[in-house]
């Protein structure tokens, strides 16, 4: 064989071999999964951790050849929409998802956005996974929303009870931003605290989200001398400043929240003053994390430069959607089929060690299974990182 | 009461410094710089990067913020605002441009610095406690004093330097200043750079106290506009007065009205509406502009 002919033949063969996986990749159908949430402004961290978790997991699954649902293999495409924490934008986002023929949407991240998109989702056959807690979204007759995390009225009582029994907490004070989510979380927190027999010594102090000095905000709260200061629905941006101001005002009691926080942000914003701060963590700890979870963290970090602890929870929604569709392929464009499957659905949980399962829960809180089952991890911040205080489960 | 006054003075000093940059740009170019808050945020992130990520001293971070924002301000003026001011006589052209710059800077900040809250560790530890009557962390006292020193330095620069006098002349009467030989384009650029530098410096100073995040730009701009509306747009003494008045109102409101919920800003906005109905030019502004 001439050298030139040999080179041509080799090049052709190599191109053919190399193009086989690409052809397989290209031949896969596309399954679009939506995300409508906040990826700009002060609460951007909440939505960005959602979007990036979905994108990192989708890229990984696509790299593995796609997802087999029924007799077809799909590549996952994430269609994202920034609602800017504005309910009107959230509605526009959900309408866009409907126009794109998307039936499964993760988000929105806040109460008013989640409530606003409900009619659009119900009219257009969309199941959505909000990260907000109004019970009306998850209790009958509502049936299209699935809570993507543990609600504050589930985690709050567990935290207060633990602190009463282990730290002797008797008096509690609540501080919240003047926004719908923190205010509703404060109300349910006060209700839970009173039900447990705690004395609420301050429960009406609020602050603007753009507050730059929390000293005047916290002064009357600290003067009420609580054993526990609850930062209801506090965003990762405000938490370090509030902790720092409280400590600088001489407060030595406990501080907690039912929202997820970021250890690096606490370290930079409050340093050692944040030691002992109790928060709900992402749904994973080193003791719980499987190899898949650890690889997810690696891939996420490689893709986006920095991991967000919240993604330990946010990684789950996409997994639940895909696994439920695998369990009932007819649900791919029919959410009524999806709803039927939810009651009995069970699949291995790839992100936890052992024989943990993905199942839908929520019977106690909502009277129907409209919540993903993720571990309730309660953390304590110490020396720049979170340590697991206790792990619970929602039924 | 002592605590309320101390909080008000601290807030006022930082607010006044934010408002100064905005009012300077307005007085020189008649431009409402909606991107002022984003410039403040950018300054905070530059200091954060220099101090936390590069491990350099805080003072270096502050200088880096001042320099970066001065260069950015000069470039924005030269390549964006100056051509628009030259070609369009309509005020809304520069307003739209300023809004566009704000959105652009938001996107740049997200791209380079990410979505997370960032902060610089305390530069001074410890808390000043005067018999529980005034409690003020030393770092806040330091930042407050630095803010006041910067305000004084700015006033001295504007009153006694050649460039400062040229900018004041420009602010008073652009045409007359030009006829007297003031290089309008040069001093407009210098003024814009100085205004942006002040925003960057405040961002750098406050990143040690409040931290910084992507979403702080818009609310900061709104507060800055509030201050110059109170004091009188385009008047330096008015911006300082507006800053201290807003800081004091906020401090008093948050303490006195806390029992009634978060109505401090409701009360401030209501008072402002009444005030502007009576004195639309602000405390020290002139009715004719």
- List chain A domain ranges: 30-150+286-374, 152-282
Asked if A308's CB is within 8 angstroms of B214's CB, the reply is no
Measured between CA atoms, the residue of chain A closest to residue B11 is: A213
Confidence of residue A300 (pLDDT cuts 50, 70, 90): very high
Look at residue A2 in the predicted model and tell me its pLDDT.
57
Higher pLDDT among residues B158 and A95, named by residue: A95
CA distance B34 to A225: 42
The secondary structure of chain A, three-state, reads: CCHHHHHHHHHHHHHHHHHHHHHHHHHCEEEEEEEEECCCCCCHHHHHHHHHHHHHHHHHHHHCCCEEECCEEEEEEEEEEECCCCHHHHHHHHHHHHHCCCCEEECCCCHHHHHHCHHHHHHCCCEEECCCCCHHHCCCCCCCECECCCCHHHHHHHHHHHHHHHHCCCEEEEEEECCHHHHHHHHHHHHHHHHCCCEEEEEEEEECCCCCCCHHHHHHHHHCCCCEEEEECCCCCCHHHHHHHHHHCCCCCEEECCCCCCHHHHHHHHHHHHCCCEEECCCCCCCCECHHHHHHHHHHHHHHCCCCCCHHHHCHHHHHHHHHHHHCHHHHHCHHHHHHHHCCCCEECCCECCCCEECEECHHHHCCCCEECCCEEEEEEECCEEEEEEEECCC
CA distance A341 to A221: 48
With residue B250 as reference, give the H or E element that holds it: helix B236-256
Higher pLDDT among residues A362 and A236, named by residue: A362
Look at residue A103 in the predicted model and tell me its pLDDT.
97
A126 CA: distance to closest CA in chain B (Å)? 29
Q: Please report residues of B whose CB lies closer than 8 A to that of A44.
A: 110, 115, 213-215
3-state secondary structure of B277: helix
Is the peptide bond prior to A108 cis by the omega test (within 30 degrees of 0)? yes
Phi–psi pair at A77, nearest 5 degrees: -120, 125
A208: contact with B, CB 8 A cutoff: yes
- A29: pLDDT strictly greater than 90: yes
Confidence of residue B223 (pLDDT cuts 50, 70, 90): confident
Confidence of residue A362 (pLDDT cuts 50, 70, 90): very high
- Range from A153-167, A248-262, B249-263, B268-282 carrying the lowest mean pLDDT: B249-263
Give contacts of B 122-161 with A, CB under 8 A: 122, 127, 129, 135-137, 140
The secondary structure of B143-169, three-state, reads: HHHHHHHHHHHHHHHHHHCHHHHHHHH
Of the candidates B97, B99, B45, the one whose C-alpha atom is nearest the C-alpha of residue B210 is: B45
Asked if A42's CB is within 8 angstroms of B215's CB, the reply is yes
- A13: pLDDT strictly greater than 70: no
B230 CA: distance to closest CA in chain A (Å)? 19
Question: Per the structure block, which two tokens stand in for B35?
Answer: 């991107």
- A16: pLDDT strictly greater than 60: no
Q: CB–CB of B140/B10 below 8 Å?
A: yes
CA distance B210 to A207: 14
- A30: pLDDT strictly greater than 90: yes
Q: Where are the domains of chain B?
A: 2-215
B155 CA: distance to closest CA in chain A (Å)? 25
- A323: pLDDT strictly greater than 70: yes
Look at residue A42 in the predicted model and tell me its pLDDT.
65
Look at residue B258 in the predicted model and tell me its pLDDT.
67
- B175: pLDDT strictly greater than 80: yes
- A328: pLDDT strictly greater than 90: yes
Higher pLDDT among residues A79 and A379, named by residue: A79
Q: Please report residues of A whose CB lies closer than 8 A to that of B137.
A: 248
- CATH classification number, A152-282, choose in 3.40.50.2300, 3.90.1200.10, 2.40.50.140, 3.20.20.150: 3.40.50.2300
Asked if A241's CB is within 8 angstroms of B11's CB, the reply is no
- Using alpha carbons, list the distances in angstroms from residue B153 to A58, A64, B276: 55, 62, 30
Asked if A213's CB is within 8 angstroms of B210's CB, the reply is yes
ipTM for the whole complex:
0.70
CA distance A26 to A66: 10
Asked if A43's CB is within 8 angstroms of B215's CB, the reply is yes
Confidence of residue A8 (pLDDT cuts 50, 70, 90): low
> Which residue from B4, B10, B122 is facing A271, i.e. has the nearest CB?
B122
A–B CB contacts, 8 A cutoff, strictly below: 117
Taking phi over 0 as left and psi of -120 to 50 as alpha, with beta for the rest, B119 belongs to beta
Confidence of residue A253 (pLDDT cuts 50, 70, 90): very high
CA A83 distance to own-chain centroid: 16
Output DSSP code: residue B260.
G
First CA to last CA distance, chain A: 72
- B289: pLDDT strictly greater than 60: no
Substitution target from B47, B111, B116, B118 for chain A, most A beta carbons within 10 A: B116
- B100: pLDDT strictly greater than 70: yes
Mean pLDDT of A267-293: 86
Asked if B119's CB is within 8 angstroms of A250's CB, the reply is no
Share of chain B above pLDDT 90, in %: 28
Measured between CA atoms, the residue of chain A closest to residue B258 is: A205
Asked if A178's CB is within 8 angstroms of B213's CB, the reply is no
> Which residue from A240, A250, A306 is facing B119, i.e. has the nearest CB?
A240
- A234: pLDDT strictly greater than 80: yes
Look at residue A376 in the predicted model and tell me its pLDDT.
87
Q: Who contacts A160 (Cβ-Cβ below 8 Å, separation ≥6)?
A: A169, A172, A192, A193, A196, A198, A228
What's the mean per-residue pLDDT of chain A?
89
Confidence of residue A11 (pLDDT cuts 50, 70, 90): low
- A231: pLDDT strictly greater than 70: yes
Output DSSP code: residue B116.
S
- Using alpha carbons, list the distances in angstroms from residue A226 to A24, A131, A215, A275, B209: 62, 29, 16, 18, 25
- Using alpha carbons, list the distances in angstroms from residue B172 to B175, B177, B234, B280, B285: 9, 8, 10, 19, 12
Look at residue A4 in the predicted model and tell me its pLDDT.
60
Share of chain A above pLDDT 70, in %: 93
Higher pLDDT among residues A40 and A109, named by residue: A109
Question: Per the structure block, which two tokens stand in for A39?
Answer: 């990826």
- Range from A189-198, B114-123, B242-251 carrying the lowest mean pLDDT: B114-123
Mean pLDDT of B40-56: 94
- B125: pLDDT strictly greater than 70: yes
Measured between CA atoms, the residue of chain A closest to residue B203 is: A212
Look at residue A137 in the predicted model and tell me its pLDDT.
95
Asked if B116's CB is within 8 angstroms of A264's CB, the reply is yes
A187: contact with B, CB 8 A cutoff: no
- B170: pLDDT strictly greater than 80: yes
Mean pLDDT of B107-113: 87
Dmax over CA atoms of chain B, in Å, equals 61
Q: Who contacts A174 (Cβ-Cβ below 8 Å, separation ≥6)?
A: A186, A189, A190, A193, A200, A202, A203, A205, A230, A232
B114: contact with A, CB 8 A cutoff: yes
Span A303-316, pLDDT tens digits:
998 888 888 899 99
Span A179-194, pLDDT tens digits:
888 898 899 899 999 9
- B215: pLDDT strictly greater than 60: yes
Confidence of residue A144 (pLDDT cuts 50, 70, 90): very high
Look at residue A148 in the predicted model and tell me its pLDDT.
94
Higher pLDDT among residues A369 and B283, named by residue: A369
A209: contact with B, CB 8 A cutoff: yes
CA distance A166 to A23: 60
Q: Where are the beta strands (DSSP E) in B30-133?
A: 127-130
Mean pLDDT of A146-151: 93
Mean pLDDT of A92-111: 95
Q: CB–CB of A262/A46 below 8 Å?
A: no
CA distance B163 to B186: 10
Asked if B121's CB is within 8 angstroms of A220's CB, the reply is no
Look at residue A152 in the predicted model and tell me its pLDDT.
86
Domain A30-150+286-374 of CATH type 3.30.70.260: no
Is the peptide bond prior to A141 cis by the omega test (within 30 degrees of 0)? yes
Q: CB–CB of A128/A157 below 8 Å?
A: no
Q: Which of A327-341, B137-151, B274-288 has the highest mean pLDDT?
A: A327-341
Taking phi over 0 as left and psi of -120 to 50 as alpha, with beta for the rest, A144 belongs to alpha
- A260: pLDDT strictly greater than 70: yes
Span B188-208, pLDDT tens digits:
899 999 999 999 999 999 898
Asked if A45's CB is within 8 angstroms of B121's CB, the reply is no
Query: β-pairing, A371-372 with A360-361?
Result: antiparallel
Mean pLDDT of A332-354: 94
CA atoms within 13 A on the CB side of A368: 18
A223: contact with B, CB 8 A cutoff: no
Which residues, listed in sequence order, are joined to residue A360 by a DSSP beta bridge?
A372
Q: CB–CB of B135/A250 below 8 Å?
A: yes
Confidence of residue B45 (pLDDT cuts 50, 70, 90): very high
Look at residue A25 in the predicted model and tell me its pLDDT.
52
Look at residue B160 in the predicted model and tell me its pLDDT.
92
Asked if A248's CB is within 8 angstroms of B127's CB, the reply is yes
């Amino acid at each position: 064989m001439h050298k030139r002919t040999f080179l041509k033949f080799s090049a052709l063969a190599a191109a053919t071999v190399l193009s086989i996986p690409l052809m397989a990749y290209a031949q896969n159908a596309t399954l679009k999964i939506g995300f409508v949430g906040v990826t700009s402004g002060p609460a951007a961290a909440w939505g960005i951790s959602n979007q990036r978790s979905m994108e990192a997991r989708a890229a990984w699954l696509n790299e593995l050849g796609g997802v087999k649902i029924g007799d077809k293999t799909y590549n996952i495409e994430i269609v994202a929409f920034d609602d800017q924490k504005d309910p009107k934008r959230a509605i526009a986002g959900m309408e866009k998802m409907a126009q794109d023929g998307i039936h499964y949407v993760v988000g929105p991240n806040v109460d008013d956005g989640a409530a606003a998109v409900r009619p659009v989702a119900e009219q257009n056959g969309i199941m959505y996974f909000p990260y907000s807690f109004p019970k009306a979204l998850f209790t009958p007759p509502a049936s299209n929303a699935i809570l993507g995390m543990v609600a504050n009225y589930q985690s709050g009582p567990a935290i207060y009870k633990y602190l009463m029994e282990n730290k002797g907490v008797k008096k509690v004070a609540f501080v919240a931003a003047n926004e719908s989510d923190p205010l509703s979380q404060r109300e349910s927190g006060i209700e839970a605290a009173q039900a447990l027999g705690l004395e609420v010594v301050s429960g009406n102090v609020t602050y603007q989200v753009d507050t730059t000095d929390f000293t005047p905000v916290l002064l009357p709260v600290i003067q009420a001398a609580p054993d526990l200061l609850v930062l209801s629905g506090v965003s990762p941006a405000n938490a370090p400043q509030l902790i720092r101001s409280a400590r600088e005002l001489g407060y030595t009691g406990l501080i907690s929240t039912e929202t997820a926080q970021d250890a690096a942000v606490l370290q930079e914003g409050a340093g050692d003053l944040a030691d002992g701060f109790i928060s709900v963590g992402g749904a994973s700890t080193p003791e719980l994390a499987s190899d898949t979870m650890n690889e997810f963290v690696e891939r996420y970090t490689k893709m986006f430069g920095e991991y967000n602890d919240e993604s330990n929870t946010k990684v789950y929604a996409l997994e639940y959607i895909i696994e439920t569709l695998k369990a009932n392929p007819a649900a791919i464009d029919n959410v009524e089929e999806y709803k039927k499957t939810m009651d009995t659905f069970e699949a291995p949980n790839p992100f936890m060690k052992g024989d943990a399962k993905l199942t839908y829960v929520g019977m106690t809180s909502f009277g129907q299974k409209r919540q993903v089952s993720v571990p309730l991890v309660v953390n304590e911040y110490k020396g720049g990182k979170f340590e697991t205080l206790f792990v619970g489960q929602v039924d | 009461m002592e605590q309320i006054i101390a909080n008000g003075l601290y807030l006022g000093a930082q607010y006044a410094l934010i408002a100064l940059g905005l009012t300077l740009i307005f007085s020189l170019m008649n431009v409402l710089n909606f991107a002022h808050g984003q410039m403040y945020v950018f300054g905070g992130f530059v200091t954060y990067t220099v101090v936390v990520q590069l491990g350099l001293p805080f003072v270096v971070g502050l200088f880096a913020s001042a320099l970066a924002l001065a260069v950015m301000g000069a470039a924005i003026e030269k390549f964006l605002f100056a051509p628009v001011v030259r070609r369009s006589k309509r005020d809304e052209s520069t307003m739209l441009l300023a809004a566009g710059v704000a959105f652009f800077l938001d996107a740049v900040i997200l791209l380079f610095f990410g979505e997370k809250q960032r902060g610089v560790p305390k530069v001074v530890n410890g808390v000043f406690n005067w018999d529980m009557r005034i409690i003020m962390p030393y770092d806040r006292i330091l930042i407050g004093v630095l803010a006041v020193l910067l305000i004084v330095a700015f006033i001295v620069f504007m009153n006694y330097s050649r460039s400062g006098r040229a900018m004041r002349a420009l602010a008073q009467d652009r045409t007359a200043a030009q006829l007297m030989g003031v290089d309008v384009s040069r001093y407009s650029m210098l003024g814009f750079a100085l205004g942006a530098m002040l925003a960057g410096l405040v961002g750098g100073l406050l990143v040690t106290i409040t931290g910084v995040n992507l979403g702080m730009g818009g609310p900061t701009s709104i507060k800055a506009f509030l201050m110059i509306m109170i004091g009188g747009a385009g008047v330096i003494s008015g911006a300082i007065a507006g800053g201290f008045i807003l800081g004091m109102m906020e401090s008093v409101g948050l303490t006195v009205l806390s029992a009634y919920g978060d109505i401090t800003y409701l009360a401030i906005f209501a008072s402002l509406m009444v005030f502007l109905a009576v004195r639309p030019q602000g405390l020290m502004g002139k009715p004719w502009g």
